[in-house]
Amino acid sequence: MSENTLESFGYKQELSRTLELKDLVIYGLIFIVPIAPFGIFGHVMSASGGTIVTAYIIGLIGMLFTAISYSQMAKEFPVAGSVYSYVSKGTNSFVGFVTGWIMLLDYVLIPALLYVVGALAIHDIFPSISPLILIIAFVIFNTYVNIRGISFTAGFNRWMLIAELIVLAIFLVVGVVAISNNVNGAVFSIAPVYDVDNFSLGLIISAVPIAVLSFLGFDGISTLAEEAKGGGKAVSKAIFLVLFIIGGLFIAQTWIAALIQPDPEQFNNLDTAFYETARIAGGEWLAVLTAATTAIAWGIADSLVAQIATARILYSMGRDKLLPTALSRVHSRYKTPYVSTLLVSVISIVAAIAFMSHLALLTSIVTIGALTAFLILNVSTMYYFVLKKKSYNFFLHILSPLFGIGVVGYIWSGFESYTIITGAVWAAIGFGIYYLAKMRGQEVDMEI
C-alpha cells in the first residue's frame, strides 16, 4: 500500500489533527448510535413481519463488505471528503462529484431526520413542548459545539456514549428479567431471526432499507482523515471496530425487544413502539428513560457528529471549487469549517420542518442516498486497484467489492418508486451543478 500524504494531493493541513483511534471509534459509535433501533424499532418490526433481527444481520453483512472498500480507499487517499474524495481520485472528478453529491442526500438530510426523531421522543414524554422549538434548540446547541472545535466535540461525545451504553445495559437486563418471568407471554426463542410460520424473505428485504439506516455513520469516520492521528490507517481500523461492536449491540437489543412484543400490530404508534415495549418490560420509568435517552442521542449526540461529517464533505467540495469556495473557510481560532457548519444548520431546520410528518419518507430518502454512493464506491474500488494499480489481491479488491455491490444492490431493489425518483432528481441537479462549475474556465474531466 502506498504511503500517500495530504500534501501529495496538493492540499495543506488546515484542520486540527488531534484525534486518536479511540476518538474515531467513539465518534463512529455516537454517529451510528448504540441505541439507534430505539427510534425506528416499530417501523422495522412492521416491515419485517417480526423477524427484525434477520433484517439487521443482512444490513450488517452489506455494510461490512462496503466497509472493506472504504478501508482500502481511506489508506490510499487519506483526505477529508469520504466517498467524494475516494471516487474522485480513484476514477475522475466528474464521477467523484456525482457520487459525493448523491451521498449528500444522506448527509444533508440525516441531521434533520435525527432532530425530528429526538424532538418526537421528548414530545412523547412532554406533549406540551413543541417539536419545532426542540429542533431549533438542538440545532443551536450542536452548531455551537461543532464550531468550538473537534477536540471539544470529542470530549462531549465520550460522555454521551457512556450515558447511552448505561441505558442500553439497563434495558437489556430488565428485558431479560421480563422474558424470564414470561411478561406479556414472552419466552426465549429464535423467532426474531426465523419464525417458521411467518417467515417471508420478501418482507425482510423490504425492511432492510429501514434497518440499514441504523448503520449509516460508519462511513462518516472517513470524513475525519485530516483530523486523525494516523490518517487513513487509523480510519480503516476504526471503521471495522465500530461495525462489529455496533452490530452486536443492535442484534441484542432488537432480539430482546421483539421477544417482549412480537406482534407489530399491537403497537399504538410505530414511531414510539420501542418505548411501548419498554413500558411492558419494566414500567413507565423504563419507557421514559429510553425515550429521553433516544431524544438526547438522536437530537444532540448523533446529529452533532452528523453535522460534523456533512460540514467536512461540503468543505472538501468547496476546497476543490465544485461548490462555493466560501464553504472551505476555516475558523482562525477553532480550526473548523464554520461556514459549512452554519449552512448545515440552516438546511437541517428547513428539512426537519418539511418532513416533520413524513418520517418514513425522510428515512427512505436518506438511505437511498447512502446506498447509491456505496454502490459507486465499490465499483470505483475495483476499477482503481485492479485496472489502474494492477492489484492481484483477489479478496480485497475483487471479491469483497463484488459482494458489497450484490448485497447493497439487493437492498437497494427494495426501495419504493417514489424514493428512486427523488434520488434521480437529486442526481440530475448534481449533474447541472457540476457542469456549471466546470464552465467557469475548466474542461470537464470525464477521463478515467
Q: Strand (E) positions, 8-94?
A: none
Largest Cα span, the chain: 72
Under 8 Å between Cβ of 30 and 301: yes
pLDDT tens digits for range 49-89 = 889 999 999 889 888 999 999 999 988 888 866 788 889 88
pLDDT tens digits for range 214-233 = 887 788 788 787 888 887 88
Under 8 Å between Cβ of 154 and 225: no
What is the mean predicted confidence (pLDDT) over 5-34?
Answer: 79
What is the mean predicted confidence (pLDDT) over 147-172?
Answer: 84
Q: Which residues pair with 228 in a beta bridge?
A: 19
Under 8 Å between Cβ of 159 and 29: no
Query: Rounded distance, CA 430 to CA 323, Å?
Result: 11
**Band of residue 1 on the pLDDT scale cut at 50, 70, 90:** very low
Query: Rounded distance, CA 341 to CA 309, Å?
Result: 9
pLDDT at residue 441 above 60?
A: no
Q: Which residues pair with 19 in a beta bridge?
A: 228
What is the mean predicted confidence (pLDDT) over 146-152?
Answer: 73
The structure's pTM equals: 0.79
The residue to which cell 472528478 is assigned = 93
Under 8 Å between Cβ of 254 and 38: no
CA 24 from chain centre, in angstroms, equals: 14
Query: Rounded distance, CA 447 to CA 171, Å?
Result: 54
| 102 contacts: CB under 8 Å, gap ≥ 6 | 369, 372, 373, 376, 423, 426, 427, 430
Query: Rounded distance, CA 338 to CA 405, Å?
Result: 35
Whole-number percent of the chain with pLDDT over 70: 94
Q: Which three cell numbers stand for residue 270?
A: 410505530
Is 223 buried (19+), middle (13-18) or exposed (0-12) by CB count in 10 A?
buried
The residue to which cell 461548490 is assigned = 323
Query: Rounded distance, CA 231 to CA 332, Å?
Result: 22
What is the mean predicted confidence (pLDDT) over 386-405?
Answer: 92
Query: Rounded distance, CA 404 to CA 262, Å?
Result: 31
**Mean confidence (pLDDT) of the chain:** 86
pLDDT tens digits for range 360-372 = 788 888 888 888 9
pLDDT tens digits for range 125-134 = 788 888 889 8
What is the mean predicted confidence (pLDDT) over 160-185?
Answer: 95
Could you write out the DSSP letters of every residue in 309-376? HHHHHHHHHHHTTSS-GGGG---TTT-S-HHHHHHHHHHHHHHHHHTTT-HHHHHHHHHHHHHHHHHH
Give me the pLDDT at residue 10, please. Answer: 67
The number of C-alpha atoms within 13 Å of 259 and in the hemisphere containing its C-beta is: 24
Helix axes 273-282, 231-260, angle to 10 degrees: 60
pLDDT at residue 208 above 90?
A: no
pLDDT tens digits for range 308-348 = 878 888 888 888 887 888 998 988 888 888 899 999 999 98
pLDDT at residue 401 above 90?
A: yes
pLDDT tens digits for range 283-299 = 999 999 998 888 888 77
What is the mean predicted confidence (pLDDT) over 145-159?
Answer: 75
Query: Rounded distance, CA 34 to CA 217, Å?
Result: 11
Give me the pLDDT at residue 9, please. Answer: 67
Of the chain, the end-to-end C-alpha distance in Å amounts to 21
The residue to which cell 471549487 is assigned = 321
Under 8 Å between Cβ of 347 and 258: no
Query: Rounded distance, CA 275 to CA 284, Å?
Result: 9
